Amino acid sequence: MLTDLLTGFVRANLLVALTILIVLALRIPVRRLLGPHSAYLLWLAAPLAFISCLIPAAEAESEAAALAAAQAASGPILRALPSTVPLSALTAVWLAGVGLAVAFVVFGQLRFLARARAGQAGPAVVGVICPRYVTPSNFAETFNDAERALIRAHERAHIDRGDPKVNAAITAAQALCWFNPLVHVAAYYARLDQELACDATVMSGRSRQRRLYAETMLKAQIAPAPLPLGCHWIAAPHPLETRIAHLKQPAVGDVRRLAGAWATALLAVGWGYAAWSAQPASPPRPHFVQPIFTESGTHLRSGVVMIRLSPGQVAQMTRASSRN
Q: What share of the chain is helix, strand, coil (3-state, %, to 5)?
A: 65, 10, 25
Q: What is the pLDDT of residue 278?
A: 77
pLDDT class of 284 with cuts at 50, 70, 90: low
pLDDT digits (tens, 9 = 90+) for 169-224: 999 999 999 999 999 999 999 999 999 999 999 998 888 899 999 888 888 755 55
Residue 14 has pLDDT above 70, yes or no: yes
Q: What is the pLDDT of residue 147?
A: 93
**282 backbone dihedrals φ, ψ, rounded to 5°:** -90, 160
- Considering the chain, what is the average pLDDT of its residues? 80
Average pLDDT over residues 49-68: 67
Lowest mean pLDDT among 2-6, 97-101, 188-192, 268-272: 2-6
What percent of the chain clears pLDDT 90, i.e. is strictly above it?
Answer: 39
pLDDT of 248: 80
* CA pair distance 156, 152, nearest whole angstrom: 6
Q: What's the confidence (pLDDT) of residue 220?
A: 77
> pLDDT value at position 238?
66
More confident residue, 303 or 112: 112
CA distance 155 to 157: 5
284 φ/ψ angles, rounded to the nearest 5 degrees = -60, 140
User: Considering just the CA atoms, what is the radius of gyration of the chain in Å?
Assistant: 26
What's the rounded mean pLDDT across residues 116-139? 88
Name the 3-class secondary structure at 100: helix
Identity at 240, one-letter amino acid code: L
Instruction: Say which range, 4-13, 155-164, 304-313, has the weakest mean pLDDT.
Output: 304-313
